[in-house]
Structure formats: C-alpha cells, structure tokens
Structure 1
C-alpha cells in the first residue's frame, strides 16, 4: 500500500507536554509508517480523515524553521510518531529540526529505527541529550502480527550499542510488555552493557484499541486473560517487579496504566 504523505504548515513546533517532568513535546511528523498494531497514537485518526493508522504521515514542512524558537525546559521527541520512520531517510526533516534546535535544551529522543545513528554528529552538539530505543522481544510470529513493518530487534540493539559507544546517553524503553510474550530478562541481558537505564511499560489494552484487543484475544488468549483479569494482572505485576529488582539495573520507572507510574529500584 502506498503511503499517503500530507504536507502541512503549523504555527508552533513546541507543544506543552503532559509527560511528568517534561515541559515540551516535538513532533515534526504526525502518524507513523511503522504501523504497529498496538500503537496508542491511533486515536489521532478520529481527527484526521486520511485513512487507517499506518497508511499516512503528516509532515510539518515548516518544522525546521519553527525549531529556531527558544523555549526553556526539557523536550521529548516524539510522542505521536517516530522521528526516524522510513520517510525521514528521504526528507531529513528530523535532522534539520535537530540542527536548528537550541542545544542548551535537555532533549530526549525515542525511536524504533536504526536510522537514528545517522545523526550522532548533531547529538554531540547538545548539552544534555539521551536517545532511547524501543525493544520488546517481538520476533517471528509476534513480530508479524504486532509490528510487521517496524525494524527487527537486532538492528535496534545494534543502534543502541553504536550510540553508547559514541558517548551518547542511552536508554531502553521496554514496551509494550505483554504477559507470556515480552521477555524482559532476555532484553536486559542483551543490552545492559550499553544502556544507561531502563523504562518499562505494560501494555494498555484500552489504549491499544479494539482491533488489537481482538487480535491478542484470538492469537494469545492466555496473555489476554492476564491483562483482563484483575487478580491475574496483580500477580503478573508482582512477578515483573521482582524480576526487575533481581536484574540489578537502573530503572527510571514502570508504567502499568492501572496503577500509573511508579519507581522500581533494583
């Protein structure tokens, strides 16, 4: 299916963030061609009549110009897209935005793409920057069902290591954690030597949408049952917290959705 690319001029690039501890969000793209089935940003389709999630990308063509604006506080990139999705290889919009941003701002970038290593030279210009890779251990059947168009896990891990070796502060965003599918221990063991910290997020069934709930229920009924049943879910969370503590890693937090954000110290 051909990707629909919608060009749009906007008034502002820096939007006040709802993420605790982060002042600003930057999304030079809206929508994502990785089209992950569980993506929470699918809600945007309610206000953009472009088609199903993953079939379109909105490009803020004046984003680089707007990036020159000076704001105070921390910035996260991106919250409703991936800044290094396939179209970025051609447009280089993320790279231009980074070039014009105030390098004194504290910047956090999250992606699933190994393309992120292209911009190491610009990352080094920032006073404070961190780059995270989303890693969830989805391979084989899970990869085909949940995120068939996203980069494979191995390329994400290689990108993480390359960034770390270049002196960039890195983190692993383990998400979504699905009971019986996401191997948290394996992810940590494979990445702990080149990761500064971890953030864990358990799948939010409601935010993932009706279609994904049905997909999970039909394909992995055991996982679905744990997420739906309060008692099973509490047992799962207890085991997850204990496993994270045993791993002895630096953890910024865990998002469980039913209980909100919490710090889990090793």
Structure 2
C-alpha cells in the first residue's frame, strides 16, 4: 500500500450532490478497493497506480476543517473515512473534532470502526451516519469487494449507532440483480434503521473491468443490467418491494442514459 502525505489548500469542496453543500475528503483513495467503486475516476489525476493500491492523506485536514462553512456537509465522496489506516492515524476523528458542530453532517462508511467516534458524533447538533450494506457474502464478496468489512459487522454497527441515539441510515448499494438481496437487508435491519437509500449499480461508472467481471461470473445479472425491458421490470419489482415493506425510503437512484432519482411513495 502506497501512502502519500500531502498538504491541502482546502478540505471543503462545493458539492454537486443534490441537497449537499460541501463534501469533505480527508483521504483520497481507499484500501477497501471495491471492484465497482465509482471513485476510480480520480486515478486520472492521481498518478499513484491502480485503485486500491494507494491512499493520499491530507495531513493538515484537521487544521483546514476549522474553517467556518455553512450548510450540509457530506463525508466522504472519493474515499471511505473509516478505511483501515484510520484506526491508527485517527485523521477522520481529528477532522470531525475540528468541524463546525452546527452544520448538518452526513457520514457514510462500510466500516464498523465508525462506532469508535460516537462520542464525537454526539457533539454535532444535526448528524446522520450511514452504513453501506449490500448482502455480498461468500463468493460474491470475494469477487466484488474482497477487502471490505463483512456484512454482519456493518449491520451491528448500524444497530449500535441507533442504540446510542445517533440517527442512522442504510445505504443499500450497489444493488445488482440476482446478487443483492434487498428483501433480506430490510428484514434484518428495519427494527433499528431510521431510513434507507437505494442505489442501483451504475454499470458505466463501475468501469470496463467490473463489467467484464459481472459478465463472466454473473451472466444472468449482467443480462438484466443491459437489457432495457428486463432492467425496468427489475426496478418496478424493487419499488413494489420497498412499498410493501412499509419503511422510510429516501428513494431509488438509477443511472440509465443519465441519472434518475425515483421517489418511493
């Protein structure tokens, strides 16, 4: 793993994410190296090698985080704030400690390490913490996200956040037909999850290599993803499932000839 220490000029970046004013990336790159990760595009501007083989560390992030910005802040968009290096470095924790506690903060991670910082989360007036859950286990996990924490650890972290009074959400992503068991995820988490956000796999953003991985190892899933009629039938069935489940769902994000956000009512 290549570690690159840099001094950044700013830690807050204006966001293009709907409803979010600023994104914070104290790390760039991610040790989890998920095969489908959409953040791989950043490698075009970071000549450090393949995605997952390096992490850029903004060593002055806590200092920069003291700047007073106002609005909703999201952490993080091109890394996981609780990837393995964070356990020793505590850069995320120190960045959180320095931030304006009056801003609404949303944190998203795949790691149970997030519960370490519950004491800091409680300092914020408005905060929500999400865990990415996708039900990948066994062969699917080994092929798709081999270095990410196991599902059980993520689900347990989601429950701990709820038990500690932190608003939480399940980010169900990526949803891949025939692989992601959305019904089971809802059944397992509904009693302690404040709300859900559903995201269908963005096959284009996942890249050529992942497309080939899916085609070779999960041909039926690939066929649904690329067949227009089968794909939208899958989306309809998913929305019907969400409605039947009677949960709070922000909506379903779909990338098909662009970007579409489908509200679930």
TM-score class, shorter-chain normalisation, is over 0.9
Secondary structure of 2:255's aligned partner = coil
Report what 1:173 is aligned to: 171
Q: Give 2:185's match in structure 1, choosing from 187, 193, 196.
A: 187
Q: Equivalents in 2 of 1:245, 1:228: separation in Å?
A: 25
Q: Find the aligned partners of 2:111 and 2:85 in 1 and give their Cα distance.
A: 12
Q: Where do 5+ consecutive residues of structure 2 fail to align?
A: none
TM-score, normalised to structure 1, is: 0.98
Spell out, residue by residue over 1:93-142, the C-alpha distance to the aligned partner (whole angstroms, 9 max, x if none). 00000001000000000000000000000000000000000000000000
Number of residue-to-residue matches in the alignment:
263
Query: 2-side partners of 1:239 and 1:254: how far apart?
Result: 12
Partner of 2:30: 32
> In structure 2, what is the equivalent of residue 263 of structure 1?
263
The alignment's TM-score, normalised by the length of structure 2, stands at 0.98
- Post-superposition Cα deviations, 1:146-189, rounded to whole Å, max 9, x if no partner, equal 00000000000011101110000000000000001100010001
Residue of structure 1 equivalent to 2:102: 104
Unaligned runs of at least 5 residues, structure 1: none
Cα distance in structure 2, aligned partners of 1:185 and 1:240 = 9
In the TM superposition, what is the alpha-carbon distance from 1:262 to its structure 2 partner? 2.0
- 2:147 is paired with a residue whose SS is coil
How much has 1:257 moved relative to structure 2? 1.0
Name the Cα RMSD after superposition.
Answer: 0.6
* 1:248 counterpart = 2:249: no
Give the deviation of 1:263 after TM superposition: 1.2
